[in-house]
Amino acid sequence: TVLVARENGVLRVTLNRPEKLNSFNEEMHLALCAAFRRAHDEPEVRAVLLTGAGRGFSAGQDLGDRDPRKGGPAPDLGHTLETFYNPTLRLIRALEKPVICAVNGVAAGAGANIALTCDIVLAAESARFIQAFSRIGLIPDAGGSWSLTRILGEPRAKALALTAEPLDAATAAAWGLIWKAVPDAELMGEAEALAARLAAGPTIGLGLTKRLIQAAGTQSFDAQLDLERDCQREAGRTADYSEGVTAFLEKRTPEFRGQ
Ligand code: LHQ
């Protein structure tokens, strides 16, 4: 249900239930979580590229798994989130390596919000982001109530979440919800090039940069200056920093090793 392959420092993770628009069942959750654990554990992984197989990125939770007509006790959705979604979302945020998401088609419900949890989001021009939750009586989960509000502010976050209207990729980019909308035919090439470039970067410095930017939202200016001092101290001790300065002085391209 998830294809995982490492090449030249990039761990490529492809949601792979195309006949169900890559909607999430338990198996796919566990496989996605395992992929991000691998990204954390393997030093050879220096960037992650997340995408979907087929015409969609992900339609969120597999609602076929949740058919109320089948009877039985109502499932505890809080438990589903805590067990299957939230661990993966926490891993993505905590991973001190860049996570690029190539949204190749529709991203609905939790599928949209998993994409929005990644560090750099590129989307095909034909892709749509749909906060589908309100259509079925649910609330925006998978970090959506947080990401939408932090990124867009209350007016747009509320409108998207309350109406479940699709948001096209160009508007998502114009609003700053994602990094870029890319012509469909160019999406994977551009995402792969970006992932390769970041995987060849100074991994520790990039990871610290991610940590700092994520911390900024909840820190005072003073506390952030302290954190920058500590992170820069750490970055300044890396071999990649020495290489970067040496390469600059020698007027050549640096060869970073992620150390
Ligand atoms: C699907 C799904 C799907 C199963 C398309 N499930 N089969 C968290 C915790 C616990 C529980 C509940 O939820 C959550 C978080 C959530 O994610 S809630 C939100 C769940 N997602 C949705 O409500 C979106 C449902 N899907 C749609 O609205 C549409 O499929 C979209 C707008 C994504 C795409 O529309 P189309 O391009 O017109 O495609 P389609 O609807 O024809 O779908 C293609 C196939 O995929 C179809 O199967 P079929 O056998 O008829 O070809 C769909 O039934 C299936 N599919 N989404 N979530």
| Complex-level ipTM | 0.98
The CA distance from 251 to 2, in Å, is: 42
Quick one: average pLDDT of 27-38?
98
The CA distance from 142 to 157, in Å, is: 14
Q: How confident is the model at residue 145 (pLDDT cuts 50, 70, 90)?
A: very high
The CA distance from 129 to 112, in Å, is: 6
**The predicted structure's pLDDT at residue 71:** 86
- Counting residues of the chain whose pLDDT is more than 90, the rounded percentage is 96
**Amino acid at the residue 166:** P
Q: How confident is the model at residue 65 (pLDDT cuts 50, 70, 90)?
A: confident
Domains of the chain: 2-199 (3.90.226.10), 203-249 (1.10.12)
- What mean pLDDT value characterizes the chain? 98
Quick one: average pLDDT of 221-236?
98
**The predicted structure's pLDDT at residue 70:** 86
Residue 106 CA to its chain's centroid (Å): 15
pTM of the full structure:
0.98
Q: How far is the CA of 130 from the centre of ligand 1 (A)?
A: 11
Residue closest by Cα to atom 27 of ligand 1: 59
**The predicted structure's pLDDT at residue 184:** 98
Q: How confident is the model at residue 189 (pLDDT cuts 50, 70, 90)?
A: very high
**The predicted structure's pLDDT at residue 73:** 84
Task: Name the pairing type of β-strands 2-7 and 10-15.
Answer: antiparallel
Q: Which residues lie with the beta carbon below 6 Å from any ligand 1 atom?
A: 20-21, 23, 59-64, 66, 77, 80-81, 106, 108-110, 130, 132-133, 135-136, 138, 141
What's the pLDDT tens digit per position in 68-122? 998 888 899 999 999 999 999 999 999 999 999 999 999 999 999 999 999 999 9
Residue 146 CA to its chain's centroid (Å): 14
Q: Does residue 212 carry a pLDDT above 90?
A: yes
Quick one: average pLDDT of 29-36?
98
Q: How confident is the model at residue 250 (pLDDT cuts 50, 70, 90)?
A: very high
**The predicted structure's pLDDT at residue 177:** 98
Q: State the helix-helix crossing angle for 144-152 and 154-163, rounded to 10 degrees.
A: 140
**The predicted structure's pLDDT at residue 105:** 98
**CA-to-CA separations, 158 to 115, 127, 155, 172, 242, in angstroms, rounded:** 19, 21, 5, 15, 47
**The predicted structure's pLDDT at residue 74:** 85
Q: How far is the CA of 21 from the centre of ligand 1 (A)?
A: 7
**Amino acid at the residue 139:** I
CB 256 within 8 A of CB 240: yes
Residue of 19, 63, 133, 165 to test ligand 1 pocket, by largest number of atoms within 8 Å of CB: 63
| Of 39-53, 71-85, 156-170, 180-194, the least confident | 71-85
Quick one: average pLDDT of 16-21?
98
